Amino acid sequence: MIDTLTKRETAHGLASLFAVLTVIQHNDITATSAQAVILAAAGTVDTDNPRPASPSDVAKSLGMSLSAVTRLMAKLADPDGAALFEPVPAPIGGRSEGYVLTKKGRDFIAALLSALNGRPVDWPQTHSVTTFSQTKDSDGVVKLRRVREDPEANTVVVTPAEAALSDEVGEWANEFLSEKPIINVTKEGAVLKFSTASDAMYFVLRWC
């Protein structure tokens, strides 16, 4: 079912979109670059179990080639350029390299959130290079594979099912989602039903 916005809601939404795009324009980066920074923020705001953004993750989310995204993220990490990212080594058993936000990158996200909310806002500290060494080894950290998703129904199917039912995923959902998803286990995997589209999107960004 599609909701019909009121005139007031429509005006507010358009104003928020315009404000967000203005922030991106003033920072002299492309919309694609902004998406990459947002993905990095989504993965590292959970400082207990951070997931630094890797080129492969971002390429998959944006539907771009790995080589193009690798060049993009290196450009965003250039200290003499955008300086929104800085690289970090992967934990033991993890990927070769990932990216976290610099102070400038975190300030950029704060500006986007302020524009979206129509008022100055603060947001939780993301994981940074200086604290990344405190991350626990990746052995035992939950990793999920997305089998399929249905955006209209706010459902995502992932494997392995037992990992989706883990305490780690449940505790994260309690803290970061509006409601915990309803989970049913089928032959295909764990079917997660989310209360909102944004919850489903955030889950995929964080775990898949």
In-domain check, residue 137? no
Torsion of the alpha carbons at 57, 168, 173 and 31, rounded to the nearest 10 = -20
Which residue, of 102, 132, 162, is where some domain finishes?
Answer: 132
Of 86-95, 119-128, 134-143, 189-198, least confident by mean pLDDT is: 134-143
Is it the case that residue 108 has pLDDT exceeding 80?
yes
In-domain check, residue 23? yes
Is it the case that residue 204 has pLDDT exceeding 90?
no
At position 26, the amino acid (one-letter code) is H
Rounded average pLDDT over 124-148: 59
| pTM of the predicted model as reported, rounded to 2 decimal places | 0.67
85-89 and 182-185 beta bridge pairing: unpaired
Is it the case that residue 31 has pLDDT exceeding 90?
yes
In-domain check, residue 149? yes
In a shared domain, residues 43 and 121: yes
Residue 52, preceding peptide bond in cis (omega within 30° of 0): no
Domain count of the fold of the chain: 2
In a shared domain, residues 77 and 117: yes
Query: Over pLDDT 90: what percentage of the chain?
Result: 38
Confidence of residue 137 (pLDDT cuts 50, 70, 90): very low
85-89 and 145-150 beta bridge pairing: unpaired
In-domain check, residue 156? yes
Place of tokens 């889950």: 203
Which range of residues forms the domain containing residue 201? 145-207
Q: Across the strands, what pairs with 53?
A: 99
In a shared domain, residues 115 and 191: no
| CB-based burial label for 68 (10 Å; 0-12, 13-18, 19+) | middle
In-domain check, residue 54? yes
Cβ proximity of 85 and 74 under 8 Å: no
Confidence (pLDDT) at 208: 79
Query: Over pLDDT 70: what percentage of the chain?
Result: 84
In a shared domain, residues 94 and 116: yes
Confidence (pLDDT) at 24: 94
> What average pLDDT does the chain have?
83
Confidence of residue 49 (pLDDT cuts 50, 70, 90): low
- For 127, half-sphere exposure in the C-beta direction (CA atoms, 13 angstrom radius) is 24
Give the CATH number of the domain where residue 87 resides: 1.10.10.10
Which residue, of 104, 132, 160, is where some domain finishes?
Answer: 132
Confidence of residue 141 (pLDDT cuts 50, 70, 90): low
Rounded average pLDDT over 185-204: 90
Residue 181, preceding peptide bond in cis (omega within 30° of 0): no
In a shared domain, residues 123 and 151: no
Is it the case that residue 134 has pLDDT exceeding 50?
no
